[in-house]
Every structure is written in C-alpha cells, then in structure tokens.
Amino acid sequence: MRSRTVVAIAATSLIGVCLLLPACGREENAPIFGESSQPAQAAVPETSGAAAEAEKIKIKTPDELTVVVFKPRGEEVKIEFQEDGRERVLRGKLKESGKRKYDEEGGGLVAEVKPGESGFKVRTPGGELLWKVKLSAEKIKISDNEENRNPFVLRLSGEDRVKILLNDSTDVGRVKFYRDRGKVKIKDPADTTLYESNTERYSAMYGVLLMPEIPAAERYIVMAELLLRQR
C-alpha cells in the first residue's frame, strides 16, 4: 500500500446533526450517519420522470467556483468535478456482492468500496487498500492503514458545528450548519470560509474537503459513501 499521511475523521451521530430532505418524512434530528455498512443488494433500477432526477449537492468556493457536485439516487451516486483543468465524472453503483464500484465516464474502474461490520474500505480495482473508514456512534475514522495512526478527528461542537482536529488536539478547521438558511460552510482555523453549499444535507462528510492528503477522486468517493450511509 502506498505511503500516505494517515487521515482520520470523527463525528457524532447522536446530537442533532441531521439530513433534511424536502418532504422526505424524516425527523429534523435524524443522525448524520446511520448504518456502518450496507447490505448486499442490486443497484437501483433506472426510473423515468421526476423520480429519475438525482438530488444535486453542489459545493463551491465563496466566489462561486464549483468544486464538486454529488447526485445521489437510491444506492447510486454521480460525482462531477474538475481536476487539472479537465472534467471528471465518476459513477458509483452498488453490485449484488454488496460492493459499490466507481467507474469514470470515458474511462474504466477507478475504485471499489467494500462494506464491513463497522464501516467500509475504499480499494483499488486490484483490491489494494486506499482508505479504511470506520464508523461508530461517536466517530468516523479514515486512514490509509488498519491501525488508524495519527488520526484526524471530526468532532461535533454543539448542534451546528463540527470541529476538525489532528490527533484530537490540533485545529484544522470546522464545518458550520446554518439550518435557518439551508447552508453549509467549511472554514479554516481562522474562521475563513473556504467552501460552502446551499443545501439541507447537514453532514460530517464536508469535513473531508479539508483533507488534501486524500487525492481528489478518492476524497469525493469517501464523501459520497458517507453521504449514502446517512439514512
């Protein structure tokens, strides 16, 4: 496995950070993430009409530059972003094995995600571990090894703020939820807004944006997986 700075993210699912989907029927204080893994099932079939339209979560810079767009639908997700001046589109589809395969539009398989008892692993097409993601009621950890050494931690501070820390002590930044405006902001330690989204998806996943150690495509796959587990 290639050497890479270990990243770990922690968040809580018990005190008020929630997913809000218009007319979804969920309570406002639903947890920010649910099951630690996903059952084996076939990908959601294609539908027509309004139901076929994917929800869109666009994350941008304060000067309106789009960073990444997520379009989740059922157990599938489409990810759109730019890297090195070119457009990239990834599509994640759940297979009967329980793994989600991420293919690049115009290319081949980029990564696969294997669910586990307490989270999931992002692996290369050849099965090499890229990132291990461990979920619990209090934390989400992301690392490039099984031991979760030198972790980053994403920790809830009140109902509407998630602090990002290195080794649970060094301030990396924060995610702030503005529920009255339907907005999320991702800020650096000086409280400067780096990214934002006009959305009612209040999720710990936004904190992954402050993890440059994770390459872009893999970073967005981890974010998408956290998003899809918020049930």
Least confident of 65-69, 81-85, 136-140, 167-171: 136-140
Within a domain: residue 109? yes
Domains contained in the chain, number: 1
The segment with the largest mean pLDDT, out of 8-17, 65-74, 161-170, is 65-74
Which structure tokens are listed for 97?
């094995």
Within a domain: residue 1? no
Note the pTM of the prediction, 2 decimals. Answer: 0.79
Within a domain: residue 167? yes
Within a domain: residue 34? no
Q: How far is CA 173 from CA 42, 107, 121, 122, 206, in A?
A: 38, 34, 25, 24, 11
Within a domain: residue 15? no
Q: What's the domain range around 158?
A: 54-228
pLDDT of 49 above 60: no
Within a domain: residue 98? yes
pLDDT of 47 above 80: no
Q: Please report the pLDDT score of residue 54 as a whole number.
A: 62
Within a domain: residue 65? yes
Report pLDDT digits (tens) over 87-113. 999 999 999 999 999 999 999 999 999
Within a domain: residue 8? no
Report pLDDT digits (tens) over 172-187. 999 999 999 999 999 9
Q: Rounded mean pLDDT of 62-74?
A: 96
Which structure tokens are listed for 43?
């990908």
Q: Rounded mean pLDDT of 7-29?
A: 37
∠ at Cα 213 (104, 219), nearest 5°? 35
Q: Rounded mean pLDDT of 61-70?
A: 97
